[in-house]
Amino acid sequence: MQVIVLLCSSAHAAGGSLCQVGIRGAISGLWLNTGNLIRRFTMSCGTGSTSSLGSGSGGGRRTVEFGRTHVVKPKGKHQATIVWLHGLGDKGSSWSQLLETLPLPNIKWICPTAPVRPIALFGGFPSTAWFDVTDLSEDAATDLEGLDCSAAHVANLLSTEPPEIKLGVGGFSMGAAVALYSATCCVVGKYSNGDPYPVNISAAVGLSGWLPCAKDLHNKLQQSQGALKRAEMMPLLLCHGKVDDVVIYKHGEKSAQALESTGFANMTFKSYKGLGHYTIPEETEDVCRWLTGKLGLEGRRS
């Protein structure tokens, strides 16, 4: 029997028994919560589907139920919309509370909640997760169907934004993995299952995460017309704490190296001494500065 040890912070959250490693003091980045997190949002992620949410060839369909989506409206002129994805076991409301406090009045934030699914890392115990994982690293076995389904959900949330609005995706931990995967799908022009990627991402941010399918990225870029040029132009920000004991630092560093070596020349990697698997004001300030510059936002609140 596999034994799973979850590191619990001293922060207290009401509403159930939670193990959390996340935003220090209030908002978690890794929650294990068996409570009722799900508001039914049904989408088809089955094989053989002809919709944008399909998962490649084969026979059979799978229904995935995403949880509640939280939206933080822009407090100034709406210039950009970013889908922000939480970490393993968390929910969208946790990050919407933090994002609402950032001095970025021109951004609309969309914070969805992942489906509840059995997780191999937890010995099959169910948790909110964007895809199944055996390990939190770029070397882990890849649940391509789950990745494609979550990336399609992100694209669907962005697809209804006005054409003049710049689109972005970001996330923490497992959410960062989906954000970076979505950016590579945008560059390649399709999901791993071959379905076309439908929206144009202008920026992607990954905090304390990793790049799924890193070993396959070079071949994907070579096989897609125009992908190398798009990779060169895609703005990416990766941030990682040097003492992260959940997604260890070397995995974030290796992901940044994989992106840089495959032609993502507009990629920035920032490391933070003493930072574990959570975020701190120094990191969020870097994210705010980076987004303001890369998205050409008019101004920030002081």
| Catalytically annotated residues | 173, 244, 277
The CA-atom distances, in angstroms, between 110 and each of 71, 232, 267, 269 are: 5, 27, 23, 24
Closest CA to 222 of 179, 267, 262, 254: 262
Q: What does the alpha-carbon distance between residue 88 and residue 119 come to, in Å, rounded to a whole number?
A: 10
Classify residue 99 as left (phi > 0), alpha (psi -120 to 50) or beta: alpha
Torsion sign across C-alpha atoms 69, 110, 246, 17: negative
Please give the Cα distance from 264 to 287 (Å, whole number).
18
Which residues have CB under 8 Å from 39's CB, separation 6+? 67, 68, 113
Q: If 0-12 CB within 10 Å is exposed, 13-18 middle and 19+ buried, where does residue 83 land?
A: buried
Contact of 207 with 29, CB cutoff 8 Å: no
Residue 268 DSSP class:
E
263 touches 221 (CB < 8 A): yes
